[in-house]
Amino acid sequence: MASHPESGCILALYRRKVVGIATRQDLMQAIAQNPEWSHMRLSQVVNRPVITISEADLESDFQDGSFLVNQFTRHQIRYLPVVDKQARLVGLIDKTLLLQQLHTLSSARSTIPESTSPLFVSSDELYRQNQRVHLLAELALKIRQSLQLKDILHTTVTEVQRLLNADRVLIYQVLADGTGKPISEAVIPPYPPILGYSFPEEVFPEEYQTLYAQGRVLAISDVHAPNSGLAECLVEFIEQWGIQSKLIVPIV
């Protein structure tokens, strides 16, 4: 699944090939007509088959924009996926953005470069959006299925670990006395689990707690680097779990 960042279009993909499309209007209509919409599958909403345009046709036929406008008008569509020779998605053209762009062009025969035009969304950006949307959708669904905090936390670390392809993801709770402990963890072998350990106040000093309470995010690519900002004793402390880099995101 991939989403358009501005217009609310959702594409159903199979091996990067477009197999279905749903607009915001399609989704709103499905929600309005089905009281059990939260249990619906995407396949019940998307439209098939999908009208697409190849990169080759786009390059050879696009002159003043009339070809694309005719495509949108003839097929009564709002979005036109662009595919490569193997029919894999490489981008998406939005009718509204296309018309806006054409309106601002000073020359009737100007082309619209991908690097400067907002109407074309690259496949890499679509893939990143897909990952974010997929993670949030799965988290929302699984959290809805269980009101148990333990299950919710386990789902969160598991799905974030899968999305980031990380060796370890954990949720750490700072207690009132300054000490702390991991309360949920997803870790791959051979790294030893941290869950079940309690940590002294020195692991999260009060000044750090204040910064994280304000929403500070900290990314350290190499804990051994001189500019990591970590005390040598802390580096030695985390080495026992094989931690070489880390990303800390507060939950406030």
The reply to whether 193 and 105 lie within a common domain is no
16 within domain boundaries: yes
The reply to whether 198 and 99 lie within a common domain is no
Q: State the pTM of this model.
A: 0.46
The reply to whether 9 and 112 lie within a common domain is yes
* Nearest Cα residue to 113 out of 122, 125, 123: 122
The reply to whether 116 and 25 lie within a common domain is yes
161 within domain boundaries: no
The domain that holds 14 is classified in CATH as 3.10.580.10
The C-alpha atoms of residue 227 and residue 231 are separated, in whole angstroms, by: 10
Helical packing angle, 95-104 and 66-75, nearest 10°: 150
The C-alpha atoms of residue 97 and residue 114 are separated, in whole angstroms, by: 13
The C-alpha atoms of residue 143 and residue 153 are separated, in whole angstroms, by: 9
Helix (H) / strand (E) element for 21: namely strand 17-22
The reply to whether 177 and 77 lie within a common domain is no
3-state SS class at 81:
strand
User: What integer pLDDT is reported at residue 127 of this predicted model?
Assistant: 54
156 within domain boundaries: no
28 phi and psi angles, rounded to 5 deg: -65, -40
14 within domain boundaries: yes
Domain end point (choices 64, 87, 121): 121
User: What integer pLDDT is reported at residue 182 of this predicted model?
Assistant: 92
Longest dimension (CA), the chain: 69
User: What integer pLDDT is reported at residue 115 of this predicted model?
Assistant: 43
The reply to whether 107 and 184 lie within a common domain is no
142 within domain boundaries: no
User: What integer pLDDT is reported at residue 123 of this predicted model?
Assistant: 52
* Nearest Cα residue to 56 out of 34, 36, 79, 82: 82
The reply to whether 77 and 185 lie within a common domain is no
pLDDT tens across 75-125, in order? Answer: 888 888 889 889 998 888 888 777 766 665 534 344 444 444 444 555 555
202 phi and psi angles, rounded to 5 deg: -65, -25
Exposed (0-12), middle (13-18) or buried (19+): which is 102, by Cβ within 10 Å?
middle
Non-local (6+) Cβ contacts of 251 within 8 A are: 171
Number of H-type helices and E-type strands within the chain: 8, 11
Host domain of residue 11: 2-121
Work out whether strand 180-187 and strand 10-14 pair parallel, antiparallel, or are unpaired. Answer: unpaired
The reply to whether 106 and 207 lie within a common domain is no
User: What integer pLDDT is reported at residue 118 of this predicted model?
Assistant: 46
186 within domain boundaries: yes
Do 144 and 38 touch, CB atoms closer than 8 A? yes
The reply to whether 171 and 101 lie within a common domain is no
104 within domain boundaries: yes
User: What integer pLDDT is reported at residue 109 of this predicted model?
Assistant: 42
49 within domain boundaries: yes
The reply to whether 174 and 237 lie within a common domain is yes
Domain end point (choices 121, 140, 174): 121
Counted domains in the chain: 2
**Mean per-residue pLDDT pooled into runs of 10, the chain (252 residues):** 56 87 81 75 83 81 68 87 89 78 51 45 55 57 61 84 88 88 93 90 80 85 88 84 90 76
Q: Which residues of 7-43 are buried (b: 16+ CB within 10 A; e: fewer)?
A: bebbbbbeebebebbbbeebbeeeeeeeeeeeeeeee
Do 179 and 200 touch, CB atoms closer than 8 A? yes
The reply to whether 88 and 187 lie within a common domain is no
User: What integer pLDDT is reported at residue 145 of this predicted model?
Assistant: 53
The domain that holds 188 is classified in CATH as 3.30.450.40
Domain end point (choices 121, 156, 176): 121
